[in-house]
A and B are shown apart, each in its own frame.
Chain A
Amino acid sequence: MILVVAEQRDGKLNRASWEAIAAAQQLAGGATPIKIAVAGQALSGVTAELSAAAVTEVIAVDDAALGVYTPDGFVQALQQLIASVSPAVVLFAHTYQTRDFSATLASRLDRALVTDVTAIRSVNGATAYARPMFQGKLVADVVPQGPAPHLVTIQIGAFRADAVGKGAAAAPVSAASVTIDTAAIRQKPEAPFQEAKQAVDLSQAERIVSVGRGIKTQENIAVAEQLAKAFGAELAASRPICDNGWLPMERQIGSSGQTVAPKLYVALGISGAIQHLVGMKGSRTIVAINKDADAPIFEVADYGIQGDLFELAPALIAELQKS
């Protein structure tokens, strides 16, 4: 049996949960039963939504101590759930919340965890999970070792949410009873907040020129700025540029910044680490300019130029200004 742990906050399902369900259905191949569990409080809306999927059962892990997420609370609850349903594989979406508790859960269960998985295949009779390595320069097929269950987190965007098989009738919803020792929850979280109102909504931009480490210095940001102007585009950046304070954090594209899907995305000197790709790979047309022909950004690019951005950007500006 495959268990998918879906994620919700305040009764709102995280969309990435559907991608993990799609991965489970591919892994099951129609033969292995799938159950979906979701932890929290007041879950009836979320379980009703999840019961549309073609699965055996949806399990609500409902407890007052799970109303606000904490790693200690969720590890206790999921450890008990896994002990009672005995899955062979447990799938999660690779969200920040999963990243916070899944390794602790695996360690407490003393079982293998494979993170950030992009594909599932069979290699010599064993299930192998493909995941990026070395900043996306390589992919590894990993076979988890040791007894079941194996825990697996699915990279955001690797499986299609709209590929989830729906059932002819709603799947039955059940409630799992867990006992949470609240005294053992050591983290005391406060309410989430946003630093400042985001002044720039890059998700509405039709064209974006995005700049990465290849720009080398703060002074050179002007080159990217001029190129953005010539394209009639908004200027954005990968995380390291914002970490250095060369552009404000609100212009950051990627898992910790904004997710965009413009008509045109020009990646200037961006190597294409997965944390960046998840924020922009839905763009209609992607142009990559990079000195390294093996940079992972070229895997998602429609048009690529391998070369020196300090020669190419001025040439492009001149060309765009011609007409």
Chain B
Amino acid sequence: MKIAVCIKQVPTREWQPRLNDDKTWVREQDVSYEMNEPDAYALEESLRLREKHGGEVVVCSAGPARVQQVIREALARGADRALHVEDDALGPADAFTAAAALAPAMAEQKFDLILTGLQSDDQGHAQFGPVLAEKLGIPHSTIIMEVIVSGTELRVKRELEGGWFQHIAMPLPALLTIQSGINTLRYATLKGIMAAKKKEIIKVAAPAGLAARHKIVALYAPQKSKQTVMITGSPAEAAKELVRRLREEARVL
């Protein structure tokens, strides 16, 4: 089975954002990056499917040269080769643009199954997967917690709200967006890291005429919905003050 996994490079969870001068994007020079967590689960799922059914796993990513960091990591974890649609303008791209950038090169590869995370930890549009499926003319399902392949048929477990699930069948080729927690992640071994250096990364230029669907006119810190009382002091002092306020002010103890 020929499996593609689409991964995105996103700022680390510890990163503290700083805005650029016109306050419409972040200062990219301050950012340290990592693999989008839901995409890491999609990668793991694709490696498990390959182990079961054979075939290959191809990592696909759109972005500037810096995204090679997460492509190399995916190769070190066990993916076979990579497709990188490289363009500096794709760093802050919206989901629609990213899908349009990857679609032509991915269409040529004729994948049986495409996996990606259900959303990105940076922009969080939750649109990339379904838009890519539509551009490739294949069916999709979202927020998937189990993937079963038998022949040309696919059966998945889709998460619904509030602890409900649903099984859905569909034909291959198809695209699935994977929910975090579907499996247990593996990490790269030293052997994997060494092997990754020899694996092929095909670089493709972004198609011409990509038009952004979103214009960010302002980026800012969220406004508080509540007046938060910040309690300071040593741990013992802060604990004492919090318990006093919970008893006397909030009356919840």
Contacts and interface: CB of A to CB of B under 8 A. Distances in A.
Given A104-B133, A305-B231, A115 B250 contact: no
B180 interface: yes
Interface size class of A (residues with CB under 8 A): 35 or more
Interface in A216-240: 231, 239-240
B240 A136 contact: no
B233 to A, nearest CB: 9
Contacts of B165: 192-195
B25 to A, nearest CB: 9
7 contacts: A107-B99, A124-B217, A244-B181, A257-B162, A259-B162, A303-B229, A320-B243
B220 A143 contact: no
A162 interface: no
Nearest to B243: A319
Given A96-B160, A113-B213, A192-B164, A141 B218 contact: yes
Nearest to B213: A112
B134 A108 contact: yes
A215 to B, nearest CB: 14
Given A99-B142, A103-B127, A315-B238, A194 B225 contact: no
A233 B160 CA distance: 28
Interface of A: 71-72, 95-96, 99-104, 106-108, 112-116, 123-124, 126, 128, 132-146, 186-195, 198, 207, 213, 231, 239-240, 242-245, 249-250, 255-259, 263-264, 271, 274, 281, 284-288, 294, 296, 298-308, 311-312, 314-316, 318-320
B82 to A, nearest CB: 25
A243 B230 CA distance: 31
Interface size class of B (residues with CB under 8 A): 35 or more
A146 to B, nearest CB: 6
In terms of DSSP, what is the predominant structure of the interface of chain B? mixed
Given A140-B216, A195-B163, A263-B252, A299 B224 contact: yes
B6 to A, nearest CB: 14
Contacts of A312: 235, 238-239
Contacts, number: 258
Given A189-B166, A305-B231, A307-B238, 4 more contacts: A107-B96, A186-B174, A213-B13, A303-B228
A133 B242 contact: no
A103 B95 contact: yes
A271 B213 contact: no
Contacts of A141: 216-219
Q: Of B123, B135, B252, which is in contact with the most chain A CB atoms at under 10 Å from its CB?
A: B252
Contact of B243 (A126, A243, A285, A316): A316
B139 interface: yes
Interface in B172-196: 174, 179-181, 184
B131 interface: yes
A231 B219 CA distance: 39
Contact of A103 (B11, B131, B252): B131
Contacts of A124: 217
Contacts of B228: 288, 298-299, 301-304
Nearest to B133: A104
